[in-house]
Structure 1
Amino acid sequence: MNYYKISFSLSRIFLLSAFTFTINLSFAQKTAISLKSAYQDDFLIGTALGTEHILEKNEKANALIKREFNAITPENIMKAQVIHPAPNRYNFTLADKYVEYGQKNQMYVVGHTLVWHSQLPPFVFKISNPDSLRIFMTEHINTVAGRYAGKINSWDVVNEALNEDGSLRKSVFLNKLGEGYIKEAFLLAAKADPKAALYYNDYNIEQPAKRKGAIELIKKLQASGVKIDGVGIQGHWSINTLNLKDIEDSILEFSALGIKIAFTELDLTVLPNPWDLQGADVNQRFEEKPEMNPYKDALPDSVQTVLANRYTDLFKLFLKHKDKISRITFWGVDDNHSWLNGFPIRNRTNYPLLFDRLLEPKKAYQAVLNLKIAK
């Protein structure tokens, strides 16, 4: 064979190989894209971890968490009922493993939560003396926040302290310590863990009345010189009643206070809600009825599409205001893990997240990802 023909053939083979390699590399790059990599220049993408995730019991779930998320929040194991079950007794086993999980995977670690009226250990409700309750709160914050000082990136210092009309919730803390307990909690947290960002966290504070109350609360803290770095809007919403205007107004109004906004517990229920229930008051329960559990076996494709569209709308809004938002955290890893399966009616099957019960991505996942990779 002629030398020039051999050279030409080799050149064609080389070019074809290079072209094939480029295609394969492009495909590999696309398949390697995750939520956290797609949004790395915008805000953190987080998830709530249950005990099974912290202990890394499910290999597929563990791989998914590490691939898709760069921020974590403990679903329950840092709440007082678990971490401080009795006077002068703490249980740090799971909390230690949670913090270790975040550190070894180089994730943003959220502490949730220091002061909350719910999921308290029973002995707290037996405290009748205000001074004794103040001692409990002080020792609890000093011990828990102090133990993880320098290892927690942000704390939800006070959780759900407001009623729907924006007034202060008549919790055990308000009733015995007065409204000053919120300021005390932030001061204690700032002293116990000076490097952590400190957040007030609540549901429905995107809605006008409750938002007004939250803004007044934050302004009072700021006026008294208290360190407060951000506000957490939980984001327990419905595909049927998602109000983007309220959400955008809340981003703008909270940001005007000079603080960051995090969406801390995001999920979108797909199930009917005849009581016009909103938010996440865990004490609300309703009767089981078949019509309230319409997707017991599977979610219809038409509803999958609606869910994907709602997440698309939400993330378009988040991207519009990415300079004001620090983090978006989904309240659960997958549909099977979601607390909404049993709230506010037991034994319901819900589908509020981006990954299904087999830990596979849903239409909603691809929709959120497409907002970035389509550009």
Structure 2
Amino acid sequence: MKIKYLIKCFALAGIGLGFGPKADLSLKEAFKKDFYVGAALNNRQISGQDANSIALVKQQFNTISPENLLKWEAVHPQPDKYNFKPADDYVAFGQANKMFTIGHTLMWHQQTPKWVFEDADGKPASREMLLKRLEEHINTVVGRYKGKIAGWDVLNEAIDDQLGDLRKTKWLEILGEDFAAKAFEYAHKADPKAELYYNDYSLYRPEKRAGVIKLVKSLQAKGIKVAAIGMQGHYGLTKPSIEQVEASIVAFSQLGVHVNFTELDIDVLPNPSRRQGADIAETFGADAKYNVYTTGLPDSVQQQLTKRYADLFALFHKHRDVIDRITLWGVTDADSWLNNWPIRGRTSYPLLFDRKYQPKPAFQAVVQAAK
């Protein structure tokens, strides 16, 4: 499918390439009978510094996620200090625009301050101390937004990449294997009506899929409800295959839970990592051979990206009975974390809107998938 043809499609649909407030077409409208479509918002957008992005969000999306502002280090940086202003603004934006607002994330081995796991002398905290801190944190944060945040990523990335076992973290080391159950119990107590999720990357991998199934079954055996499993969706142009992604959708739905695609983006750049995923600890030094499109995306790659998004959204539409939400990890290419991971300073093109807030050919392909 040629780029010129897709641009012609925009014109036929009555859509200019400049997305103003009167645009006739939006992602949320295209999929309104199927699932929510959303984006992750950053501090610049929430604080009003990026008005163009906010206009795009209002026009295109009906669910939002916070990229970083509700992670522990951001909202609770010190034992006796909370930083609620960015989160308050985020939640207020969601309410004002009647969006399905997500909280991300309550328990994670990354972006959690060191003090959480230590006592006053800098030694490892006891199980009792860490449980008390966890409960206090969840009760304070979830309780503050009770009835306002509709769903929480309670636990993030707790399964090992390679083996499918529980990841070796401070949470597991200090609390033992019931760390996940405790987090879900505390979150449910703080807001009984909020949906509670497990979220992870590379869940198309059979080993990791099996690990998540085992974890969710263990929670269900304790009477804990997991509303959905979040498949992050940090994918490449060819990997994973549509069949691999579909196998996990089907397997997770057989647990009696729904599926969300929570952090969707497509990395078009060469990746120095042998992994397909989102392990933020795995970074590399600058190397020009991994930053090859500094002046723009070649037409051939744009076509690959367009087809990839079309195929994925066709799959999502096929399984709309068990998929509740598709969230892109960023609003435009300029916002994407992939500009700085796994190498800082790259020029990345992973989303549906470009650096000038314009829809890319992949946007029209996604809308067509709804039909």
**Paired position in structure 2 for 1:112:** 104
Of structures 1 and 2, the one with the larger relative CO (CA 8 A, separation 6+) is 2
What are the Cα deviations for residues 279-328 of structure 1, in whole angstroms up to 9, with x where unaligned? Answer: 11111011221111110121111111100000001011111100010000
Percent identity among equivalent residues? Answer: 50
Give, in angstroms, the shift of residue 240 of structure 1: 3.1
Q: Highest Rg: 1 or 2?
A: 1
For residues 27 and 76 of structure 1, the distance between their equivalents in structure 2, rounded to whole angstroms, comes to 36
For residues 361 and 248 of structure 2, the distance between their equivalents in structure 1, rounded to whole angstroms, comes to 28
For residues 33 and 61 of structure 2, the distance between their equivalents in structure 1, rounded to whole angstroms, comes to 14
| One-letter amino acid matched to 1:188 | Y
| One-letter amino acid matched to 1:174 | L
For residues 28 and 180 of structure 1, the distance between their equivalents in structure 2, rounded to whole angstroms, comes to 52
Counterpart among 82, 94, 97 of residue 90 in structure 1 = 82
8 A contact 1:47–1:331 mirrored in 2 = yes
- Aligned-residue Cα RMSD (Å) equals 1.7
1:37-52 matches, cutoff 5 A = 37-52=29-44
Counterpart among 136, 144, 149 of residue 133 in structure 2 = 136
Select between 266-275 and 252-261 the one with higher mean Cα deviation. Answer: 266-275
1:344 aligns with 2:342: yes
**Paired position in structure 1 for 2:212:** 214
| One-letter amino acid matched to 2:134 | M
Runs of 4+ in 1 over 3 A off after TM superposition: 26-31
| One-letter amino acid matched to 1:189 | A
CA shift in 2, pair 1:276/1:52, >3 Å: same
Give the count of matched residue pairs.
350
Give, in angstroms, the shift of residue 274 of structure 1: 4.3
Give, in angstroms, the shift of residue 275 of structure 1: 3.4
Counterpart among 143, 146, 156 of residue 143 in structure 2 = 146
Counterpart among 306, 318, 321 of residue 319 in structure 2 = 321
Give, in angstroms, the shift of residue 88 of structure 1: 2.0
TM-score normalised by L of structure 2: 0.91
SS in 2 for 1:32: coil
Counterpart among 265, 280, 283 of residue 282 in structure 1 = 280
What are the Cα deviations for residues 16-48 of structure 1, in whole angstroms up to 9, with x where unaligned? Answer: xxxxxxxxxx84899411000010001000100
8 A contact 2:117–2:130 mirrored in 1 = no
Flag structure 2 segments of 5+ consecutive residues without an equivalent: 1-12, 17-21
| One-letter amino acid matched to 2:153 | D
| One-letter amino acid matched to 1:196 | A
For residues 85 and 151 of structure 1, the distance between their equivalents in structure 2, rounded to whole angstroms, comes to 23
**Paired position in structure 2 for 1:203:** 201
CA shift in 2, pair 1:28/1:303, >3 Å: closer
Flag structure 1 segments of 5+ consecutive residues without an equivalent: 1-25
For residues 348 and 34 of structure 2, the distance between their equivalents in structure 1, rounded to whole angstroms, comes to 29
Counterpart among 210, 225, 235 of residue 233 in structure 2 = 235
**Paired position in structure 2 for 1:14:** none
8 A contact 1:240–1:270 mirrored in 2 = no
Select between 128-137 and 109-118 the one with higher mean Cα deviation. Answer: 128-137
| One-letter amino acid matched to 2:66 | P
8 A contact 1:187–1:227 mirrored in 2 = no
TM-score normalised by L of structure 1: 0.90
For residues 342 and 27 of structure 1, the distance between their equivalents in structure 2, rounded to whole angstroms, comes to 36
1:122-271 matches, cutoff 5 A = 122-127=114-119, 128=124, 129-164=126-161, 165-271=163-269
Counterpart among 19, 33, 36 of residue 25 in structure 2 = 33
For residues 82 and 27 of structure 1, the distance between their equivalents in structure 2, rounded to whole angstroms, comes to 42
- Structure whose residues are more often helix by fraction: 1
SS in 1 for 2:277: coil
SS in 1 for 2:262: strand
SS in 2 for 1:113: strand
| One-letter amino acid matched to 2:156 | N
**Paired position in structure 1 for 2:67:** 75
**Paired position in structure 1 for 2:4:** none
| One-letter amino acid matched to 2:138 | I
**Paired position in structure 1 for 2:46:** 54
For residues 197 and 146 of structure 2, the distance between their equivalents in structure 1, rounded to whole angstroms, comes to 16
For residues 171 and 321 of structure 1, the distance between their equivalents in structure 2, rounded to whole angstroms, comes to 34
SS in 1 for 2:134: helix
